[in-house]
Structure 1
Amino acid sequence: MKKIYLVLVIFFLGSCSSFLEENVRGVISPSNFYNSDQEAIQAANGLYLDFRTGNLYKGWQGITSWTFFGSDEMMSSRIFGGLAPILDYNLTETNYGNAYGLWRDLYSAVGDANSVLVNVEDNEKISAATRDLVIGEALFLRALAYYHLTALWGDVPYFLEDLPLDEVAVLGRSDMVQIRQQMVQDLIQSESLLPSTNTGANVGRATKWSAKFLRTRFYLWQKDWAGALEASQDIINNSPHQLMPTYGEVFNLNNQFNAEAIFGFDYTKDAPNNTQDITDSFNPRLRDEPKNAALRNEFSAKLAAIGEEFNGYGLNVPLNDLIDKFPKDDLRRPYTLLQSYLGYDLNFTYLTKRTNFDFVNSPRGNHGEAWITMRLAQVYLMAAEAANELGKTTESLAYLNRIRERAYSPAQPVTTTDQSALRKAIQDEYKWELAGESERRYDLIRWGILVETVQNANYGIFKGNENIQPHMVKLPIPQQEIDLNPALLESDPTNNGYR
């Protein structure tokens, strides 16, 4: 067995409210690890922690910056650091915020998953049940890392073995299509090994349905419409997940892992190395609100009286384009656009469903909220999209209108039978249903309409609609990585068109 070059070890305590509530970081060697079921589970826990870093799903400038910024959905309330180049579309190899950290952390996740796999597979010291579980989780999380790498950069270095760093450091780029094809196969294996549900301390771990959800996303990138439809239908018809009766219930902070939630990262307040500050980027800051600054002290006192504060960064806000176009009679609008609070008009519009003003249970920098990344409503939309592309109009409309049923009263079903018009209706529905919580920029890229969509959007104080160019559907590989590994330019000396 090869040496593990990066492992985050999490000690699992069955009595904890979260399986990542306590942790110890350290570099370990297979010679004195992987000797029991408990140690194998600890290694799997470390894989989840890889994704709970500031550059991925913990910090406000994490991977979410690249999934909905630079689209027609979200923007920053002000020109701020690494966010401005994304929204202005003036990215270079050296100026775009956390991209180097994002690249590094995604590859740390790949490397750690490879190491866990090679040390758990065929290890007779670990029970068959635990081996299957850990292998299933490692395959899922490695596929998630490659999902983001290929969505952001296209062709990227690719390896499935536990390679030493000196070998990784000279890898060139591999074809993203081949990478995605292999990840689909890995996810099929993962689904066969993972449980259908998780409860108690295991909430937040992968299930067969989260693996199938991710496989569906890969199918959509590949335009494998039949595969996407079949996988989506399986989730809809056979999983334990159900749509919540109302849109507001989806975002109940006391029940985030509800029946609709398929996967997400569950954070625990006050846990070491386990808190998140994503919420801070959506929460308003008092210095900005309310619109009438003369009423600020009065407003603050009313917030305090109910145990609340506007104590966030106030950065991630709906784009002008989303505000302008969101249907006025859509029941999802008040859960998406927060324009007044406690009777006071606000200076900025905020994303209601991502805020939490409870400063006792959710203080700044120490939030316990989960970050749900997969839910059943998106599966219905993926099914509608795939069915429409296959010419199954009636089926597509049924899936689409199932989502619209709870969005309008009285109902406003889509009735068009024209494939192009239905495609546009589905694309719009993704926007209204999933604003600020999914992967809008990714969707626009795979639909081939990112450039025209951004060009036609109201970009407020930013210039992305003026600056975007066709090659900007991909990011440039960071200069720091090229300096370390010139082989990254061998297959594409232009670095995705940025040279």
Structure 2
Amino acid sequence: MKTKYISMFIALFVGMVSCDEEKLEPVNPNQLGIETFYRSGPQLEAAVNSVYAGLQANNLYNREYFFLQDLLSDDCDTGGPQLEAPRAQVLNHVFDASNPLVTANWRGWFRVVHRANLVLENADKAVEEITDGLRNRILGEAYFLRALANFELVSLWGPIPLMTSSAESPDGLPRTSEGEVYQTIFADLAEAISRLPLKSEYASEDIGRATRGAAQALAAKAHLFRGNFAEARPFLEAVINSNEYALVDRYLDNFEAENENNSESVWEVQFSEEFGNAGGWSGDGNNIAEVTFRGQEYGPTAWRNVIPSISLVEAYETVENGAEKDDPRGRYTFFRIGDTYNNGQSVLTADKVQGATDRPSWRKYQAIYKRENEDTNSGINFRVIRYADVLLMMAEVENETSGPAAALPYINQVRARADVDMPPYPTVQYPTGSREEMRLAIMHERRVELAGEQIRNRDIRRWRRQGTLPSEPIPAFQSRNDVLPIPLVEIDNNSALSNADQNSGY
């Protein structure tokens, strides 16, 4: 699908058109617009490509999404000489409704919702060069992407304005209850599941599009976030029993460019150095790029603005005692002084690293495994949902509904990956004889397996809300930060909202 992202730019205007302006201006049949665009299969496909392109924007996976998720968690710390003030505020949990990082993510996800709505509203207009199968698939993709965006929004902000149609005026909508938002998410995912192909049914040029398995895994994630373990089970079973996915033998295959869209990938956002540039910094975060800033921002030889936290580094098992052994995922996740990179041709020395050299740096998603220096043009895909995540979610479901014995096969399957080969549970550290002990083991396993993958923040929030956190992992946490503030610019510009609608404490 990377080659198809070139065509996404044709449709970017779709998300930017003001319907008020269109009502004032006569329609020119020779000019592309909403009235003249959605007439063929290729145009409709270009329109759904523009929804995917929204994920590549500066305010989402190009840059700001990984910052917000990682800094809200306890997996990260500041590593370079100076973390920009808005990011430092998020890291220290002292942000307010004017924080640009919070605003950027809000805008980015609502742009995805708006573009998905345009596809859903106009899909029936395409009558040329289109089959029922193509139309059905494109509708499934749009439903999936709208559900993804709404889940990101409701899980971070609570009640949100629920856009089920494209914007027709500058006016906004009032907040909708979390329950109603989730009803829409699950309805959208049901539509997506009924319409989307399996991953193996896509042609090679379409790899990277939403799949049935991705929609099922997302539905499970949403149910788990709400503590609905029994409801999550059938979706996880469907993914596991599909035989579409398997753990790869080499852990780092999940974070390098040469092994993208592999058997472990349930769904990932596509990037490539072959197209585009870094995207730059735009006022509203709308710049689209086929590359990300991740390597430059997190890289040990680059800006190193974000590094692993001490608590994360210490979470990896490092005991050599009988059946116990060091967890190699620590080596796969971090760069330390003395490690080689650049295909083994370079050695990481203290003079190449900004900030405290006694602290490790991130290895995941870093391009220096194959080159000397990082820059703002990393083409490594973001793995949004991995099969390892699915197996650990299933372990959690089994533990909460059936007990620890039923959870063991799933958590041990993750530990048995060929180049991880950790001793199976129970272990000395995690005896897992009770539901509470298994819960702690699953929490540990999710942290060390999925570190730095924008998952920990949401895990902490759901466990906190469900009352299962053994202790508060973020000392600076305040109850108000369990949800983010509605951005001040939204309240100022949306006549359906006022300061009274702001989340408590902001």
Q: TM-score, normalised by structure 1?
A: 0.83
**Residue number in structure 1 paired with 2:5:** 20
Cα pair distance change 1:429/1:489, threshold 3 Å = farther
Q: Which moved more, 1:420-429 or 1:340-349?
A: 340-349
2:445 aligned residue: 429
Displacement of 1:419 in angstroms is: 0.9
Asked whether the equivalents of residues 72 and 453 of structure 1 are also in contact (C-alpha less than 8 Å), the reply is no
3-state SS of 1:104 partner? helix
What is the one-letter code of the residue matched to 1:265?
Answer: V
Tell me the CA shift for residue 417 of structure 1. Answer: 3.0
Structure 1: distance between partners of 2:467 and 2:89 = 16
Secondary structure of the structure 2 residue equivalent to 1:67: helix
Q: Which residue of 203, 206, 223 maps to 2:207? A: 203
Q: Corresponding residue for 1:337?
A: 334
The more displaced of 444-453 and 321-330 is 444-453
- Mapped to 2, the partners of 1:165 and 1:275 lie a distance apart of 33
1:450 shift after superposition: 10
CA distance in 1: counterparts of 2:313 and 2:505, whole angstroms: 32
What are the equivalent positions in structure 2 for 1:302-451 lying under 5 Å apart?
A: 310=301, 312-328=302-318, 329-340=326-337, 341-342=339-340, 344=348, 346=350, 347=357, 348-357=359-368, 364-406=375-417, 409=421, 411-414=423-426, 415-448=431-464
Identify the match of residue 472 of structure 1 among 469, 481, 487.
481
- Asked if structure 2 preserves the Cα contact closer than 8 Å seen for 1:184 and 1:215, the reply is yes
Contact 1:339 1:349 in 2 (8 A): yes
User: Aligned partner of 2:57: which letter?
Assistant: T
Aligned to 1:114: 117
Q: Does 1:249 align with 2:253?
A: yes
Taking the aligned partners of 1:472 and 1:17, their CA distance within structure 2 comes to: 37
Amino acid at match of 2:77: M
In 2, Cα distance between equivalents of 1:447 and 1:211: 23
Q: Percent identity?
A: 26
Select the residue among 168, 177, 180 that pairs with 1:178. 180
User: In the aligned structure 2, how far is the partner of 1:91 from the partner of 1:205?
Assistant: 35
**Gaps (5+ residues) in structure 1?**
1-15, 285-309, 458-463
Q: One-letter code of the match for 2:446?
A: Y
Cα distance change on mapping 1:280 and 1:201 into 2, 3 Å = farther
* Cα deviation, residue 410, structure 1: 5.8
- Cα distance in 2 for residues equivalent to 1:321 and 1:451: 21
Which deviates more from structure 2 when the two are superposed, residues 78-87 or residues 131-140? 78-87
Which secondary structure state, in structure 1, belongs to the residue aligned with residue 5 of structure 2? coil
Question: Per-residue displacement from partner, 1:229-278 (whole Å, max 9, x unpaired)?
Answer: 22112111214111112323333431122110111111121413422222
In the alignment of these two chains, the number of paired residues is: 444
2: distance between equivalents of 1:216 and 1:450? 16
In the alignment, which of 106, 115, 122 is matched to residue 103 of structure 1? 106
Match of 2:503 in 1: 496
Question: What amino acid sits opposite 1:183 in the alignment?
Answer: I
In the aligned structure 2, how far is the partner of 1:486 from the partner of 1:350?
45
CA contact (8 A) 1:71 1:454 kept: no
- Is the 8 Å Cα contact of residues 172 and 489 (structure 1) preserved in structure 2? no
Q: Distance in 2 between matches of 1:334 and 1:230?
A: 35
> SS of the residue aligned with 1:180?
helix
**Aligned-pair CA distance for 1:38:** 0.7
Summarize the Cα distance change of 1:360–1:401 in structure 2 as closer, same or farther, 3 Å threshold: closer
Amino acid aligned to 1:495: Q
Output the CA distance in 1 between the equivalents of 2:162 and 2:477.
29
Measure, in 2, the Cα distance between the counterparts of 1:115 and 1:247: 39
1:101 positional shift: 2.1
Structure 1 residues 437-446 or 355-364, which shifts more? Answer: 355-364
Distance 1:97 1:409, change over 3 A: same
- 273-282 vs 119-128, which deviates more? 119-128
Task: State the partner residue of 1:43.
Answer: 47
Distance in 2 separating the partners of 1:225 and 1:419: 14
Give 1:20 shift. Answer: 0.5
Q: Which string of whole-angstrom CA distances, capped at 9 and with x for unpartnered residues, describes residues 142-189 of structure 1?
A: 0111011011101000021233133xx331110112211221121111
Q: Distance in 2 between matches of 1:279 and 1:21?
A: 23
**1:87 corresponding residue in structure 2:** 91
Offset at residue 68 of structure 1 (A): 2.3
How far did residue 123 of structure 1 move?
A: 4.7
Structure 1 residue 74 displacement after superposition: 1.6
Aligned equivalents of 2:231, 2:54: Cα separation in 1: 30
Q: 2 CA distance for matches of 1:48 and 1:366?
A: 19
8 A Cα contact 2:291 2:379, kept in partner: yes
Could you tell me how far apart the structure 1 residues matched to 2:248 and 2:56 are?
Answer: 27
Q: What is the alpha-carbon distance in structure 2 between the residues aligned to residue 362 and residue 192 of structure 1? A: 45
**Contact 1:281–1:315 (Cα < 8 Å) also in 2:** yes
* Amino acid aligned to 1:260: E
Aligned counterparts of 1:416 and 1:325: Cα–Cα separation in 2: 17
> 2:331 and 2:228 mapped to 1: Cα distance?
35
One-letter code aligned to 2:105: L
RMSD (CA atoms): 2.5
Amino acid at match of 2:395: A
Aligned-partner residue type, residue 356 of structure 1: A
Is the Cα–Cα contact under 8 Å of residues 196 and 239 in structure 1 kept in the other structure? Answer: no
**What's the TM-score, normalizing by structure 2?**
0.82
| Cα distance in 2 between the residues matched to 1:359 and 1:26 | 37
Give the match for residue 148 of structure 2.
Answer: 144
Deviation at 1:58, TM superposition (A): 0.9
Superposed CA offset, 1:437-495 (max 9, x none): 131111110111799979865xxxxxx62x321121111111111111253347xx262
2:290 to 274, 285, 295: 274
Q: Does the 8 A contact of 1:387 with 1:395 survive in 2? A: yes
CA contact 1:276–1:366 (8 Å) conserved in 2: yes
Residue 187 of structure 1 is matched in structure 2 by 189
Mapped to 1, the partners of 2:161 and 2:216 lie a distance apart of: 24
Find the counterpart in structure 1 of residue 279 from structure 2.
Answer: none
Alpha-carbon distance in 1 for matches of 2:458, 2:298: 21
Q: Which residue of 2 aligns with 1:295?
A: none
Aligned match of 1:127: 131
Report the residue type matching 1:33 in the other structure. F
SS in 2 for 1:111: helix
How many Å separate the matches in 2 of 1:48 and 1:124? Answer: 23
Deviation readout 1:54-113 (Å, 9 max, x if unpaired):
111112xx112222222221222144122101111111111x232222212211111111
Given candidates 472, 478, 482, the residue that maps to 2:491 is: 482
